[in-house]
Amino acid sequence: MGLSFDRKTALWALLYAYLFTLAGIFTGGIKDQAQYGPDDVCLLFVAEEENAADQKVFESVSPACGITIGVGSLGLLLSALLCGFAMYFLLTNQPRAKRVIQSFALVGTLFTLVMLVGASLASAGLHKTCEALETASPDTSSCAAIFTRGFYSVQADKQVPEGKKLSTVDAAVTVGWLSVLSWGAYSAFEWYQWRVASQRWW
C-alpha cells in the first residue's frame, strides 16, 4: 500500500502540530515559572499567612499547578496520538469510518472541557496570587516586580531567592484559553465531518 502526502495531509499535520505547541507552551510556562524551589512550591492561589521577622510568609499548598501541568501534558499526548491516527488514514488514502470520526470528535470535545478547567484554574490562581502579593507588599510593588525579585526557599540551610517571570505565566494562561478555543473549533469541525460521513452507509 503506497503512501500519499498532499496538501490536505500537510494542513492536518500543521493543525495537530499547532495543538501540540499550545499544550507545550501552557505546560512549560506553568511548570517553569509558576513553581519554585526544590519542592516545586506552587505560586497559584497563594494566600498571606503571617508576618515573620519583617518578612511576609505565604501559604502555598494549592494542587493547582499539578492539575494544570497534568492537563497540559494530556494535551501533548492527545494531540500526538490524534495526529498519528489521522496521518495513517491520510497517508494511506483510507476514508475514516463514521465511528472513527465520532471518536475523534468525542476526544476533542472531552479535552476541550478538561482544558477549560485547566485554563480556569491557572487564570483564577494567578489572579488570587497577585492580589495577595500586591496587598501584602509594604512598598506597593506590582505583582511582576515581586515575581522578578524572587521567592525564598531553603536550600542547603541558606535562604536563596528564586526569581520568576510573571509575563511567562501570563502568556501560559493566555495560551491556555487559546487552547480551549482551538480544541473547541477542532471538535466542532470533527462533528461536522461526522455529520457529513453519516450520509454514507459505512
Q: pLDDT averaged over the chain?
A: 88
Q: Give the model's confidence band at 136: pLDDT under 50 very low, under 70 low, under 90 confident, else very high.
A: confident
pLDDT of residue 1: 46
Q: pLDDT band for 102, please (50, 70, 90 cuts).
A: very high
pLDDT of residue 52: 54
User: Is the pLDDT higher at 159 or at 100?
Assistant: 100
Question: What confidence tens digit (pLDDT) does each residue in 114-125 have?
Answer: 999 999 999 999
Q: Which residue has the higher pLDDT, 105 or 5?
A: 105
Burial 63-102 (b: 16+ CB within 10 A, else e): ebbebbbebbebbbebbeebbeebbebbbeeeebebebbb
* pLDDT tens for each residue of 25-84: 999 999 999 998 888 889 999 876 555 555 666 777 789 999 999 999 999 999 999 999
Predicted TM-score of the model (pTM): 0.88
At residue 50, the pLDDT reads 56
The DSSP H or E segment spanning 102 is helix 98-136
Q: Which of 135, 71, 142, 78 is nearest to 104 (CA)?
A: 78
Q: What is the pLDDT of residue 53?
A: 55
